[in-house]
Amino acid sequence: MKISYSILFIILIIFSNYCNGKTILDNERNIDQSDYNIKNITPKDDAFHGINNYYSQEWWYFDAFFNQNYGIHIGIKVISFAKWGIVRELINIYKDTNLEEKELRIRPLNQYKISEEIPNIKYRNKQILEFDYNEYISTGNWNYTIKIELNNIKVDLIFIGKSKGFTYQTTHEGWSVAQPIARVRGKITINEKVINLNGKGYHDHNWNFSIGTGLRGKGWYWGKITSENYSLTWAKVQKTRFADDTISEKIGILSIINDDYIKINSDNITIEVGDYEYHNGRFIPTRFFLYAMQDDIEINVSFNAVSIQKIGLRFISIHYWRFFISIIGFIKHGENVDFLENEIQIMECVRFI
C-alpha cells in the first residue's frame, strides 16, 4: 500500500510532538512575534544547542566567493532524534556558478566532540571547525578556521569577521549570523591540485529545525546582498494556516563593514517574486525584487537567477534549491551609496510541500 508524502508528513509531525511531550498547538508561550527581535550574538549562540527528545536538525553554514571565479559552500549538520544522531559534512565547490566538485560524508554523532559553549567541532581528536576564542576575548573579533578533508577535496580556510553578528530566536527555532561580512583566505585542494584563494564570505547557524517547522511555514527564500561597505541579510517566509506561527514573514538586517548592524522593521521591507519556472517537480521563482526604506536607509535591488541547483535528496516533502543570482541596484545609508551592477551572489529556496 502506497502512503502519500503528505500523510507521512502529518504522521511524523504528530509522532515528533508526542515524543516531545507536547501537542502541535501547545507551543506559543505567549511570545509576541508581530515583529522580529534581534540581539547581539554570543559565542554560546553559535555553539551546539544539544540534542532533543524529538527529531531536529542543527547546522553551521559557510560560503565564500573567491578570486579566479571560485565559490564554496561548507556545511556541517547534526541530525538527531532522542539519543541517536548523525553528522553530515558537505563541501560544494563552484566555478563560474557551476558545481565543479561535491563531497559528502555521514558519520555517527558519538564520534564527534561538539562544544555547547563555543563553536568548536572535533571529529575524534581532529579539529574541523575552530573558533578563535582568545582572539574574541582580546579584541571582540570573530574568526574561524575550517579544516575538512572529504575524499579528493581538502579545505583549509580562515573566515575573518568584518561586521558585528546577531541572533534571531523564536519560540521554536534559532538563527544566528556570526559573520554577516567576512574576509576569507586559505586554500582548497582538488585532486591534489592546490588553489590559493582570497575572497568574501558569510557564516550563519540554525538550530532546532524540526518537522514542526514545516507546519508553521511551508518554506522560505533567504539570501545576502553584499556590496563594498554593506551586506543585507534577508528572508521571506511562506506561512501556513495549520498552526500559529512564531516567525516574521519578512526579515532584513543591514550590516555595516567594520561596524554594527541595523534591523529593518518588517513593515519597511517589500520582497516580491516572479517569473516562475519548473525545476525538479516544483514551480519556483527566478526573478526577485527587494525594496526597503527606514530612516536614512534605502535599498532598491532586483536580482535574477543565473543558475539553479537542487541540493540533496528529497526527504518527506522537503525541497531545497541554491540560486546563483545577478544583482542590480543600490544600498544607501546616510550619504553613502553602494551600487551593485550584475553582482553574482547566492540565495536559497526551501519548500516543505
**DSSP calls for 333-347:** ETTEEEEEEEEEEEE
Question: DSSP letter at 265?
Answer: P
* pLDDT at residue 325, as a whole number: 96
Cell of 47: 555553539
**Confidence grade of residue 194 (pLDDT, cut at 50, 70, 90):** very high
Domains of the chain: 5-351 (2.40.370.10)
Lowest pLDDT segment from 11-15, 55-59, 208-212, 309-313: 11-15
pLDDT at 4 > cutoff 50: no
Q: How far is C-alpha 96 from the chain's CA centre?
A: 21
Cell of 263: 534591523
pLDDT at 64 > cutoff 50: yes
Summarised one tens digit per residue, pLDDT across range 144-191 is: 999 999 999 999 999 999 999 999 987 778 899 999 999 999 999 999
What's the chain's average pLDDT? 86
**Confidence grade of residue 70 (pLDDT, cut at 50, 70, 90):** very high
CA torsion, ordered 255, 256, 261, 264, to nearest 10 deg: -60
pLDDT at 240 > cutoff 50: yes
pLDDT at 15 > cutoff 60: no
Cell of 260: 554594527
* pLDDT at residue 171, as a whole number: 77
Element (H, E) at 137: helix 133-139
Average pLDDT of span 100-111: 95
pLDDT at 87 > cutoff 60: yes
Distance CA 290, CA 302 (A): 6
Burial 117-145 (b: 16+ CB within 10 A, else e): ebbbbebeeeebbbbbeeebeeeeebbbe
Average pLDDT of span 114-131: 96
* pLDDT at residue 56, as a whole number: 87
